[in-house]
Structure 1
Amino acid sequence: MSALVPATREALAGLPADVAPTLLGGELRVTTASGLVALRITEVEAYHGRGTGALADPGSHARMGPTARNATMWGEPGHLYVYLSHGIHSCVNVVCGPEGVAGGILLRAGEVVEGQDAAHARRPAARLARDLARGPGRLGDAVGLRHPIHDGIDAVTGAEQAG
């Protein structure tokens, strides 16, 4: 088993379909007021924005260009694009690709490897540990990332996005 390597901007500067497989097996570590939760990323989904290929990805929030909602996707790689799905679930994406070219990798599932008590407190309906972060909405809930509070956080340094 190889050691985990911290994410870098350079590693995240490629297009989503190229970067997405490199995130599998990595860890997302999130510390909020209610505690640390670390999970191993087990499933991802790549989304290309407008201008990253012959056809815009119809599933991408950036397919029609920049908006107030998707502004984070157009910024520096390595930030988290956190959006609200169905009005209740906060879904977490890692922004990738060159700055000004929108791309994101949706974190779809993870295995909680640290902070199971904190994750379970956020997801009391999960009866099994494997269900704590299975699915993009559950993952956001389990690690405690919420839209709009955490949209734009720098996943490389942990700093909040300015502005």
Structure 2
Amino acid sequence: MDELRSRLARGPEIVAPELLGWVLATSDSCGVIVEVEAYGGSDDEASHAHNGPTPRCSPMFGEVGHLYVYRSYGMHWCANVVVHGPDEPGAVLIRAIEPSGDIEAMSARRRHPVPRLLGAGPGRLTEALGITGNHNGLDLLAPSNEVRLIPGSLDQNQSVERTPRIGISRATQLPWRFSIADNRYRSRS
């Protein structure tokens, strides 16, 4: 576990593409991470950590490998993996997963039968996996926890696409959105 934690103890823009192919798992379902966005600290105006720690974003300043969950627009939960180098907060937003676990359980939670859309977006994937604010701060690397991050990798024929982040109004120029190129489970192009 120390090796995994040290892999996450680097800048979010470095760690983010490396999380593609990893698995986000809950007690009854899981999905392969196919799209992410990196969010840094004080230099990243789109980051919740930009203005320093608050009760909402305090996990971004905490131990790497933990889950940072917040509400977006008061409607959807968003799941982030806390990653950062020394003395600087950060996290990687999980934007999309390719469902690979109990599709029926995920469909029941989402009330949506189309597998391609179960995890195509931050709010959709948390709903499909049953991730809520109650999971905020959870250690994703502890094998007995309800939500876990399991190392994986890309296939040789898969490549990473790097584009500007979407759905934000500041720091829109940073190319910190990473996805598995041509993967049909991504949130949007």
Q: With the length of structure 1 as denominator, give the TM-score of the two structures.
A: 0.83
Distance in 2 between the 1:88 and 1:37 partners? 22
- Change over 3 Å in CA distance of 1:113–1:151 after alignment to 2: same
Distance in 1 between the 2:13 and 2:107 partners? 32
Runs of at least 5 residues in structure 2 that lack an aligned partner in the other structure? 147-189
- Confirm or deny that 1:92 pairs with 2:79: yes
Give aligned-pair identity as a percent. Answer: 45
Q: With the length of structure 2 as denominator, give the TM-score of the two structures.
A: 0.72
- Confirm or deny that 1:47 pairs with 2:39: yes
- Change over 3 Å in CA distance of 1:99–1:146 after alignment to 2: farther
Distance in 1 between the 2:45 and 2:85 partners? 20
The Cα shift of 1:127 comes to 3.7
Tell me the matched-pair count: 144
Q: 1:136-155, aligned counterparts within 5 Å? A: 136-147=122-133, 149-155=134-140
Partner of 1:123: 110
Q: Pick from 59, 66, 71 the counterpart of residue 79 of structure 1.
A: 66
SS in 2 for 1:43: strand
Partner of 2:151: none
- Confirm or deny that 1:70 pairs with 2:92: no
Distance in 2 between the 1:116 and 1:99 partners? 39
Runs of at least 5 residues in structure 1 that lack an aligned partner in the other structure? 1-6, 51-55
SS in 2 for 1:72: helix
- Amino acid across the alignment from 1:81: Y
Partner of 2:8: 12
